[in-house]
């Protein structure tokens, strides 16, 4: 009779505990030990197919990406393998409009040939050849400079050996507020990539991004996206099931154009006024503005690879002078604008004394 009672009690205890393990919701605290087994299936937010990497021999592959939180921390986990390459996780926390980047190749730490569209990552987790001592967690400023932030991490992967990384990010590290507080209505977007050395792209991303194919500039348009503060009370939500309540957001491609290029005035007297150059780009990108003589010689570099916003009028000023500060001779000049070295718009300008 006692044995039957014990068996029944254990069965009941398993029934009570099993759903909590199989369908965990926030708040869920993760032990940071480099083993992702304590994340629940509902916290597996991207299950990336094995074998979809373009660098498979030796293996360089992302398997799973995990995410959850409790009242004090955001938890990120990733199962992966690399062989002489980097694992990088880009995180857009929606923390500050002044932070984040569109071009990861301009970073001062782990610069890689990725362009970001739709999101604007403000943080990155990175390590080289599965060695966390070569990496860490940093905040990204809009000028590409990075700074280390408080975080706890553990990594069990090694060169050519599959394993996992887990990272705990205190909410104050992300939002600069008191413990347990986030930006009102906070939304997270995250993507993980395998990448080569400095200024290279890579072979694999989670979620998959169609232009990540092992070489050349890659555009990151797919992210796992989830609302952290759905009730807008400035506190991370309780009862969220990340893989159910979040989704993979794929931002559409936009035909890149430079529109509404305007020069004011169109007849410039440098001794008395300056030139306002305005235009609109149909997508995020980096603009270069030049001035050419009638002979095709570059006589003025107004802006070089300056970030411009999508469908927003951008303004630049030129004083009618060359690189040495000398006023250029009277004549006809051509102002050109290119975005991401893909499209060019031109407008003529007359210079007078």
Residue where a domain stops, chosen among 186, 218, 250: 250
Neighbours of 321 (CB within 10 A): 15
Tell me: do 240 and 346 sit in the same domain: no
Nearest alpha-carbon partner for 335 in 306, 299, 304, 283: 299
Q: Give the integer Cα–Cα distance in Å for 214 and 232.
A: 40
Q: How many residues are listed for the chain in this entry?
A: 353
Instruction: Answer whether residue 156 shows pLDDT above 70.
Output: yes
More confident position, 99 or 175: 175
Q: What pLDDT is attached to residue 332?
A: 95
The percentage of the chain sitting over the pLDDT mark of 70, rounded to a whole number, equals: 92
| Judgement on whether residues 215 and 321 belong to the same structural domain of the protein | no
Q: Are residues 178 and 311 in the same domain?
A: no
pLDDT of 14 > 80? The answer is no
Q: What is the pLDDT of residue 23?
A: 59
pLDDT band for position 6 (50/70/90)? very low
| Residues 175-197 pLDDT 10s | 999 999 999 999 999 999 999 99
Average pLDDT of span 119-140: 96
Using one digit for the tens of pLDDT, what is the confidence trace for 285-316? 889 999 999 999 999 999 998 888 889 999 99
Query: Cβ atoms within 10 A of the Cβ of 26, count?
Result: 23
**CATH number, domain with residue 81:** 2.60.40
Indicate if 102 and 216 belong to the same structural domain. yes
What is the tens place of the pLDDT at every residue in 250-275?
Answer: 998 888 899 999 999 999 998 889 99
Shared domain check, 193 and 99: yes
Please indicate, yes or no, whether residues 78 and 142 belong to a single structural domain of this protein: yes
Give residue 178's domain range.
Answer: 25-250
Assess contact for 156 and 149: CB atoms under 8 A.
Answer: no
**Domains identified in the chain, total number:** 2
Lookup: tokens for 152: 């706890």
Residue 340: CA count within 13 A, CB half-sphere: 24
Report cis status (omega within 30 of 0) of the bond before 47.
no
One domain, residues 269 and 206:
no
Q: Is residue 164 domain-shared with residue 274, that is, in the same domain?
A: no
Integer Cα distance of 290 and 292 in angstroms: 7
**Does residue 68 sit in the same domain as residue 143?**
yes
Q: Are residues 195 and 232 in the same domain?
A: yes
Could you give phi then psi for residue 53, rounded to 5 degrees?
A: -75, 145
């Amino acid at each position: 009779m006692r044995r039957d009672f014990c068996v029944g009690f254990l069965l009941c205890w398993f029934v009570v505990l099993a759903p909590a393990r199989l369908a965990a919701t926030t708040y869920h605290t993760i032990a940071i030990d480099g083993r992702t087994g304590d994340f629940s299936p509902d916290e597996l937010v991207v299950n990336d197919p094995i074998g979809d990497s373009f660098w498979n021999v030796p293996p360089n592959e992302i398997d799973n990406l995990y995410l959850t939180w409790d009242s004090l921390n955001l938890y990120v986990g990733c199962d992966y393998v690399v062989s002489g390459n980097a694992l990088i996780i880009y995180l857009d926390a929606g923390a500050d409009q002044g932070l984040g980047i569109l071009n990861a190749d301009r970073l001062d730490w782990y610069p890689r040939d990725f362009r970001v569209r739709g999101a604007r990552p403000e943080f990155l987790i990175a390590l080289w050849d599965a060695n966390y001592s070569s990496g860490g967690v940093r905040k990204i400023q809009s000028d590409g400079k990075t700074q280390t932030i408080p975080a706890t991490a553990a990594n069990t992967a090694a060169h050519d050996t599959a394993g996992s990384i887990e990272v705990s990010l205190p909410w104050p590290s992300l939002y600069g507020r008191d413990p347990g507080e986030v930006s009102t209505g906070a939304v997270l977007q995250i993507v993980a990539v395998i990448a080569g050395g400095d200024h290279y792209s890579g072979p694999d991303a989670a979620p998959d991004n169609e232009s990540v194919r092992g070489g050349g500039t890659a555009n990151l348009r797919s992210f796992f996206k989830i609302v952290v503060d759905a009730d807008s009370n400035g506190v991370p939500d309780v009862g969220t099931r990340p893989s159910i309540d979040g989704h993979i957001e794929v931002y559409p491609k936009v035909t890149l154009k430079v529109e509404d290029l305007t020069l004011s005035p169109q007849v410039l007297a440098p001794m008395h006024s300056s030139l306002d150059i305005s235009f609109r780009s149909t997508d995020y990108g980096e603009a270069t503005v030049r001035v050419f003589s009638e002979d095709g010689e570059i006589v003025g570099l107004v802006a070089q690879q300056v970030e411009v916003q999508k469908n927003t009028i951008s303004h630049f000023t030129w004083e009618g002078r060359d690189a040495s500060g000398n006023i250029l001779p009277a004549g006809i000049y051509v102002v050109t604008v290119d975005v991401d070295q893909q499209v060019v718009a031109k407008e003529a300008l007359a210079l007078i004394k």
